[in-house]
Amino acid sequence: MNKQSSHHTSWLQQWLETIWYKKGKGKWLLLPLTGLYCLSNGIKRRLDTRNLPLLPCPVVIVGNLTVGGTGKTPLVIYLVKLLQQQGYKPAIITRGYGGKASHWPQAVTPDSDPDQVGDEAVLMASRTGVPVYAGPDRLSSVNALLKEQAVDVIVSDDGLQHYKLPRDIRIVVIDGKRQLGNGLCLPAGPLRERKKRLMNADLIVVNGADASSSADWLPMQVEGDTLVNLKTGESRKLSDFAQKKVHALTGIGNPQRFYQSLEKAGLSLIKHDFPDHYNFQAGDISFNDELPVLMTEKDAVKCKRFASEQHWFLPVEAHMTSQFDSMFLQRIAPLIS
C-alpha cells in the first residue's frame, strides 16, 4: 500500500489517459481533432516517404504506435548486445528528447550532459559502449554517424513516425497491460498512427503480459532485482527493502510498471509522479526524512550529480525469447554484406 502520493503530471494528461485507457468521458469532443490529425499525418507520411535515400547499412527501428513509454529503450540495448554477440558493429540513433543542445546531431558518450543530449541517449551510451548519436533529424544523425564511425547496422530508438528515415526492419513495442487503449488516434486516443500500421511491422513485441492475444506477438519481460546507490555505487538486492516504506520517484511515460515492480517485491510506496523526461532539480528528490528514495535508471542519469546516499535506482534488462532472437537475426543477416 502507498501511504501518500504526489502528482506533478498535468490535469490534462490525467484526463486524456482516463479517456484513452479507462473509458473516461470526453472522447466524442476530441474525435473531430482526431480526424484532422489522421488526415495531416497521412499527408505527411506520403510526402516524407518520397525519394528516400539509399543508405550503406541497414536501419532497425524500435518504435511504438502509442504515446508514452512501452519499453523501447531496454529493447534497443538488448538488440545492440545481441548484434555484438554475432560479430556486427551496431550504433544507435535517438531523438535526444529533452536535450537543450544548441546544435544537432550530437555524439553522445556516458559522460555527456543529459540536460544537453537527453536522458535516454546518455543511458544507452552508458549501457552499450557503442556509438550513440542524438538529434531530432534522424537522417542527419545517420549521416554524421556514418561519416565518423565504422558501423554496419544502425538501431533507431523510436522514430517509427519519422518517415524521412529509411528503415529495413520495423519492430513495434506494445505495452502488455495498456495495449492500444481505445484504439483511436490522438487526441481522442493514444495512437500516433492507425492500428492498421501494425501490418507493416516486421516484429511485434509485447512488454509485460501474455502475448497470446495474437499469434504474431512476441513476449518481452523487462525486469531488475538489484538497486544501485547513486552516490556510492553500492548494490543491494531489491528484496532487502521488502516491508520498508520508501519514496518512489518517476519521470517516465508509464510509471505504473515501475511502481508495480517495487510493490511486487513487498515495498510500501510513497509515490511521486513527474512528467516524462522531467528535468529534475535537487529539491524534487529531497523529502526531509531518512527514507530511501528509489527511481528508474533513466531518471537517475539526471539526478546523479545532486543525489545523496538516500537515493537508489533500479537497472532493468529486457528478456526476450529464443524465437525473437532467431527471427530478428534471420532478418538482419541478408541485409549486412
SS (H, E, C) the chain: CCCCEEECCCHHHHHHHHHHHHCCCCHHHHHHHHHHHHHHHHHHHHHHCCCCCCCCCCEEEEECCECCCCCHHHHHHHHHHHHHHCCCCEEEEECCCCCCCCCCCEEECCCCCHHHHCHHHHHHHHHHCCCEEECCCHHHHHHHHHHHCCCCEEEEECCCCCCCCCCCEEEEEEECCCCCCCCCECCCCCECCCHHHHHHCCEEEEECCCHHHCCCEEEEEEECCEEEECCCCCEEEHHHHCCCEEEEEECCCCCHHHHHHHHHCCCEEEEEECCCCCCCCHHHHCCCCCCCEEEEHHHHHHHHHHCCCCEEEECCEEEECHHHHHHHHHHHHHHCC
Residue 92 lies in a domain: yes
Per the prediction, the chain carries an average pLDDT of 94
Same structural domain for residues 61 and 191? yes
Same structural domain for residues 188 and 244? no
What is the CB neighbour count within 10 angstroms for residue 145? 21
Q: Helix 72-85 and helix 119-128: axis angle, to 10°? A: 30
Q: Say whether pLDDT at 81 is over 50.
A: yes
Give residue-wise pLDDT tens across range 146-180.
Answer: 999 999 999 999 999 999 999 999 999 999 989 99
Same structural domain for residues 146 and 238? no
Give residue-wise pLDDT tens across range 245-256.
Answer: 999 999 998 898
Same structural domain for residues 234 and 140? no
Q: Say whether pLDDT at 2 is over 70.
A: no
Closest among 294, 307, 173, 299 to 240, alpha carbons compared: 294
Per-residue model confidence (pLDDT) at position 13? 86
Per-residue model confidence (pLDDT) at position 14? 87
Give residue-wise pLDDT tens across range 274-314.
Answer: 988 899 999 999 999 999 999 999 999 999 999 999 999 99
Same structural domain for residues 267 and 175? no
Same structural domain for residues 185 and 325? yes
Residue 43 lies in a domain: no
Q: Say whether pLDDT at 189 is over 60.
A: yes
Same structural domain for residues 159 and 286? no
Q: How far apart are CA 97 and CA 136, in angstroms?
A: 8
% of the chain at pLDDT higher than 90: 88
Per-residue model confidence (pLDDT) at position 32? 97
Closest among 273, 270, 216, 292 to 68, alpha carbons compared: 273
What is the CB neighbour count within 10 angstroms for residue 103? 6
What's this model's pTM, rounded to 2 decimal places? 0.94
Residue 3 lies in a domain: no
Residue 105 lies in a domain: yes
Per-residue model confidence (pLDDT) at position 192? 97
Residue 241 lies in a domain: yes
Q: Say whether pLDDT at 7 is over 80.
A: no
Same structural domain for residues 131 and 253? no
Same structural domain for residues 161 and 246? no
Range of the domain at 66: 54-220+319-335
Q: What is the mean pLDDT of residues 74-99?
A: 97
Determine if residue 300 is left, alpha or beta; phi over 0 gives left, psi from -120 to 50 gives alpha, anything else beta: alpha
Per-residue model confidence (pLDDT) at position 4? 57
Q: How far apart are CA 281 and CA 285, in angstroms?
A: 7
Give residue-wise pLDDT tens across range 97-122.
Answer: 989 999 999 999 999 999 999 999 99
CATH number at residue 324: 3.40.50.300
Q: What is the mean pLDDT of residues 80-109?
A: 97
Q: Say whether pLDDT at 3 is over 60.
A: no
Same structural domain for residues 188 and 265? no
Same structural domain for residues 87 and 166? yes
Q: How many domains does the chain have?
A: 2
Same structural domain for residues 254 and 323? no
Q: What is the mean pLDDT of residues 36-58?
A: 96
Q: How far apart are CA 243 and CA 270, in angstroms?
A: 13
Per-residue model confidence (pLDDT) at position 330? 97
Residue 38 lies in a domain: no
Residue 195 lies in a domain: yes
Residue 207 lies in a domain: yes
